[in-house]
Structure 1
Amino acid sequence: MLGHMSETPLAFMIATFVVIAIFFVVDLFVIGRRPHVPSTKECVQHIAFFVVMALIFGGLVWTFAGAKPAIEFYSGWLTEYSLSIDNLFVFVIIMSNFAVPKVLQKYVLSVGITVALILRGCFILVGAAIIQRFTWVFFLFGAFLIYTALKLVMGGDEDEEYHENGLIRALRKVIRITNDYDGEKLRTTENGVRCWTPMLIVFLTIGTTDVMFAFDSIPAIFGLTKDPFIVFTSNVFALLGLQQLYFLLGALLDKLVYLPVGLSVVLGFIGVKLIMEALHGNSLPFINGGHPIEWVPEVPTWLSLAVIIVSIGTAAIASVVKMKSVEAASQQ
C-alpha cells in the first residue's frame, strides 16, 4: 500500500525506515539504558538534533519526491509536534499518578512512545485503507476536528485528572502487580511470588493513551496529505523529540496559556479543508445528487503550512509575552 499510494521512491522509503529504526534503537538501548534525569543542555541538544533531522528529511523528500510531498511533511510534522506538546499535560499527570521515579521517567517515555509508534503505524495503515475506499469519511474526520477545535477553545477536559482506561483497569484484575518499582524490571519477586511491577502498567498507559491522542492527530494529518508514508514519518519525527520536550517543558506547560487557542485554529482550519475536499469529490447520493461539487475550491498545501506556522507561532509568542508580564507583575 505504501509504495502504491506514495509519491516517494521505494528505495528512499526503505532507507528512511532503516534510519528511523537506528534512531529508536540508539535512543532506547544506548541513551535510554542509563537511567537519569536529563539536564537542560542534554534536552536542548536532543531536541535541536531531531528538529534538524526533520528539516533535512523534508529537504530530502523535496529532492526525491518533489515540493508537494515535502510541504505536506513539514505541515504534518508541525501539526503533530504542536499536538504532542499539548499532550504532554497528560504525560505529566500519568507520571505523577504512578509515582514514577525521576531517574526512570526517560526510560519509561522511550519505551512507551515506541509502543505508541507501533500502534499508530497500524492506525495509519487502517486509516489510509478506509480513506482510499470511502472518501466520504472525510466528512466525519472534518466534523470531528471542528468539534475538537471548539472544545479546545471553549475549554475541554484536557486539564482534568487522568483516569485509567478500560484496558488498564481490566489488566489489574487478572494479573498480580506490586506497588513498588524494581528499577527498570517488568517482573520481580515479592514474598517469594513472581509479580509484575507497576512499570508494565506505566508502559501500557503511555502507549494506549497516546493512541487516544491519535484520534485527534491522525485525522488532522490526513487532512494535509493522503500519503501514508508522509503521515507516518510526520508522526515519527514528532514523537522522537517528545521525551526531551517532557523534561524541558514540564515545568512550563501550565504557562503555555494560548497553545490551545492556536491548536484550535489549526484543527478547525484542517476540519474545514477536509469537508471541502469531501464536497469536491462527493459521491454521497443525498448531497448534490451524488455528484462532486465542482465550485468548491481546493486549499493549496502551502496555505495549510502558512496557517499552521502563523497560528502556532502567534500562540507561542503570545504565551511568552503573557508569562513575562505575569512574572513582571509578581516582582512589583
Structure 2
Amino acid sequence: MEFLFADWLGTPVWFWLAFVAVVLVLTAFDLGVLHKDDREMGIAESLKLSVFYIAVAMLFGGWVWWAKGSGPGIEYFTGYFIEKALSIDNVFVISMIFGFFAIAPKYQYRALLWGILAVIVLRGIMIAGGAALVAQAEWIMYVFAAFLIFTGVKMLAAGDHEPDIGKNPVIRWISRHMRVTKVHHDQHFFVKEKDASGRLVWAATPLFLALVVINLADIVFAVDSVPAIFSITRDTFIVYTSNIMAILGLRALYFALAAMVYRFHYLKYALALVLVFIGGKILIADFALGGAKFPPLISLGVTLVLIAGGVGWSLWKTRGERPAEV
C-alpha cells in the first residue's frame, strides 16, 4: 500500500493509476459497447458522445481541483481548453487524410481509435522529454516561449494552405518498401494477397496508410501543444492528463466537426493569439513580474475569451454558408 502513496513525477502513484483506469474504462466502453460493430456515426450521436467525454473531463478536472488545489485545477482546465481548441485544426487535417485515401465513414472510427491509442503513447514520450529538458535546463522555457510566439505570428500572417497528402515522404517510403493493396479491405489494416509468383504475402491497406499519416500529423500538432501546456504548468501530471483528456474526446467530436469544419474558418486566428499570449506570459512573468508566477486564473480567462471569441466570430461570419462540393 505504501507504493500507492509514493511520489512519481511530483504526484502520488495512485493519482496516475486512477487516471489510467479512467482511460482504460472509457476506451473499453467506447469500443466494446458503443462501437462493437463498424458503422457510420451520425452528427447527433457524435455530439451526444462528445458531451459525455467533455463531462468526464470536467469531472476529472474537478477532482484534480479538489485533490491538488485550485492552482493545479485551473492549470488543468487551461491546458484542456487549449488542447481542445487546437484539436479542431486536427479535425480539418484528419478529414483531408480520410478523403485522400477514400476511407469509408463506417471505418473511420476504428482508425481514429487506434490513432488515439498511439497518440496516448506518443504524447507521453514527448511530454516526458519536455519535462526532462525543463528540469535540466530552465532556459528551455525561453525557447518554448519564442517558438510559441513565432508559431502564433506565422499563423496570423499565413493564408489558407492545404497540405498535399500525396507528397508526404512517409507515404512514398511505405509505398516503395511495403506491399500496399490498391483496393480497400473493410476494417483491416493488413491482408494477405497473392504476389507475382502466386504466393500469399502480407500487404498493408489504404486504411493503414491513413492511420500512419494521422499519427504523423498529431506529432506535428504536438510540437505546438506540448510547449503550450508546459508554459502553463510544470506539473507533469497536469500536463499529461489535460492533453489526453482533450484528445480522448476527439474521435467522438470528429464526425460532427468534420461536417461543419468550414464554419470555424476564423478560429485559427484566435488560436494564434492564444499561442502568442502563452509564449508572451513567460517573458512577462520573468521580466515584468520579477520571476513571480503569472496568475493562472488570468491565463484561463484570457484563453477562454480568445477561444470563445474565435468560435463566435467564425459562426457569425460563416452563417448561411454551405460546405464546398467535393
The TM-score, its normalising length taken from structure 1, stands at 0.88
Tell whether 2:46 aligns with 1:43: yes
Cα distance in 1 between the residues matched to 2:232 and 2:31: 31
CA apart distance, 1:215? 0.2
User: Mean Cα displacement is larger for which, 299-308 or 177-186?
Assistant: 177-186
Are residues 321 and 142 of structure 1, via their aligned partners in 2, closer, same or farther at CA, if it must alter by over 3 Å? same
> Within 2, Cα distance between the matches of 1:158 and 1:225?
32
Work out the CA distance in 1 between the residues paired with 2:313 and 2:146: 28
Match of 1:216 in 2: 224
- CA deviation digits over 1:20-49, x for unaligned, max 9? 122123323443441111122211111111
Report the TM-score when normalising by structure 2: 0.89
Name 2:263's counterpart in structure 1: 255
Per the alignment, residue 3 of structure 2 pairs with none
CA distance in 1, matches of 2:71, 2:161: 34
Aligned equivalents of 2:268, 2:113: Cα separation in 1:
26
> Counterpart in 1 of 2:141?
138
- Which of 157, 180, 186 in structure 1 is aligned with 2:183? 180
**Pair 30,166 (structure 1): closer, same or farther in 2 beyond 3 Å:** farther
Picking from 181, 188, 200, the partner of 1:193 is 200
Q: 1:81 to 1:164 in 2, by over 3 A?
A: farther
Alignment of 1:264 onto 2:272:
yes
Residue identity over aligned pairs, in percent, reads 34
Matches within 5 A, 1:237-316: 237-277=245-285, 279=286, 295=290, 298-316=293-311
C-alpha distance in 2 between matches for 1:130 and 1:108: 32
Structure 1: give runs of 5+ residues left out of the alignment: 281-292
- Distance in 1 (alpha carbons) for counterparts of 2:167 and 2:200: 26
1:98 — aligned with what? Answer: 101
For the 8 Å contact 2:149–2:279, the answer to whether it is kept is yes
Q: Mean alpha-carbon deviation: is it higher for 176-185 or for 210-219?
A: 176-185
Secondary structure of the corresponding residue to residue 87 of structure 2: helix
Residues 70-81 of structure 1: pairs in structure 2 closer than 5 A: 70-81=73-84
Return the letter of the residue paired with 1:305: L
From 313, 318, 322, give the equivalent of 1:323. 318
Q: How does 1:79-94 map to 2 (within 5 A)?
A: 79-94=82-97
**C-alpha displacement at 1:50, in angstroms?**
0.8
1:116 CA drift (Å): 1.7
Aligned to 1:155: 158
Secondary structure of residue in 1 paired with 2:180: coil
- Which of 227, 234, 243 is the matching residue for 1:235? 243
Coordinate RMSD, CA, aligned = 2.1
Are the structure 2 counterparts of residues 294 and 66 from structure 1 closer, same or farther at C-alpha, using a change threshold of 3 Å? Answer: closer
**In 2, Cα distance between equivalents of 1:214 and 1:122:** 11
In the alignment, the residues of structure 2 paired with residue 115 and residue 312 of structure 1 have an alpha-carbon distance, to the nearest angstrom, of 27
Give the drift of 1:313.
0.5
**How many Å apart are 1:295 and its aligned residue?**
3.2
Aligned partner of residue 250 in structure 1, secondary structure: helix
Render the CA deviation track for 1:185-216: whole Å, top value 9, x for unaligned.
12223235322222221221111211111001
Using the alignment, how far apart are the partners of 2:297 and 2:108 within structure 1? 38
Looking at structure 1, the residues matched to 97 and 103 of structure 2 have their Cα atoms a distance apart, in angstroms, of: 9
5+ long unaligned stretches in structure 2: 1-5
Describe the superposition over 1:51-110 as per-residue Cα deviations: whole angstroms up to 9, x where unpaired. 111111111001111111110000000000000012211111100111111110111111
Q: 1:327 to 1:96 in 2, by over 3 A?
A: closer
Superposition deviation, residue 227 in structure 1: 1.1
> In structure 2, do the counterparts of structure 1 residues 307 and 224 end up closer, same or farther at CA, with 3 Å as the change threshold?
same
| Offset, 1:158 | 4.9
| Deviation string, structure 1 residues 90-144 (Cα, Å, up to 9, x no partner) | 1111001111111101111111121122111111111111111111111111111
In structure 2, the partner of 1:168 is 171
Alpha-carbon spacing, 1:199–1:243, altered in 2? closer, same or farther (3 Å): same
1:124 aligns with 2:119: no
Q: What corresponds to 1:289 in structure 2?
A: none
Kindly indicate whether the alpha-carbon contact (under 8 Å) linking 1:276 and 1:297 is maintained by their aligned counterparts in 2.
no
Shift of 1:294: 6.7
Instruction: Report the AA paired with residue 304 of structure 2.
Output: I
For 1:156 and 1:142, locate their aligned partners in 2 and report how far apart those are by CA, in whole Å.
23
